[in-house]
């Protein structure tokens, strides 16, 4: 039997934080309890979590508050995760160097660095990027979830690229369900 794939705890920590920002602490606790996710109340993870736990939270949220509201929460969660990464995980000297590079080169250098630790957010899925002829980021999610989960990655990549590559970066997302999971394709305009 294989060990379940794990992802970073910010997937859950920041999603709960985004819920609290949107709904307030009390309503968030009521919502988490109602969707069978009450175990996160006062018990947020501090280490890597099984990716299925994040996807279960997303699926339960979507059923309860709808696709559009869940997409907004996940985008905010991704942005909050990016802020955490910039503050705690991505070394300051690396950030300074990347910001000095031309946008195209900064994109390649940054995404190359991200690819070395992609398992922390892709779990059992796959991560890839391409810079020519255009800047594309792809995440393939193999854990059972709904396409709405792609908004978490959209928020994260948008915030990181705006901070490190070009503040005017925009991303167009194409998120599709596949037989074996979800394909998320992000076309970046830097």
CA distance linking residue 78 with residue 158, whole number of Å: 9
Residue 176 CB contacts under 8 Å (≥ 6 apart), including other chains = 147, 182, 183
Q: Which pLDDT band, with edges at 50, 70 and 90, does 1 fall under?
A: low
At 83-92, the pLDDT tens digits run 999 999 999 9
Span 116-128, pLDDT tens digits: 988 888 988 899 9
Going along the chain from its start, the domains and CATH numbers come out as 6-189 (3.90.1520.10)
Q: What is the mean pLDDT of the chain?
A: 95
Q: How far apart are CA 25 and CA 44, in angstroms?
A: 14
Phi, psi of 62 (to 5 degrees): -60, -40
């Amino acid at each position: 039997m294989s060990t379940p794939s794990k992802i970073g705890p910010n997937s859950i920590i920041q999603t709960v934080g985004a819920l609290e920002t949107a709904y307030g602490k009390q309503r968030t606790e009521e919502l988490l309890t109602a969707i069978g996710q009450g175990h996160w109340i006062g018990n947020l993870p501090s280490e890597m979590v099984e990716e299925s736990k994040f996807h279960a939270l997303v699926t339960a949220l979507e059923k309860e508050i709808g696709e559009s509201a869940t997409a907004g929460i996940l985008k905010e969660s991704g942005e909050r995760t990016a802020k955490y990464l910039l503050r705690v995980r991505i070394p300051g000297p690396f950030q300074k160097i990347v910001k000095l590079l031309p946008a195209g080169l900064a994109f390649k250098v940054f995404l190359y660095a991200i690819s070395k630790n992609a398992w922390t957010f892709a779990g059992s899925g796959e991560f890839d990027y391409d810079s020519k002829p255009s800047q594309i980021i792809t995440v393939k999610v193999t854990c059972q979830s709904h396409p709405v989960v792609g908004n978490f990655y959209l928020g994260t990549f948008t915030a990181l690229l705006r901070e490190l590559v070009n503040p005017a970066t925009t991303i167009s997302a194409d998120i599709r369900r596949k037989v074996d999971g979800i394909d998320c394709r992000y076309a970046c305009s830097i």
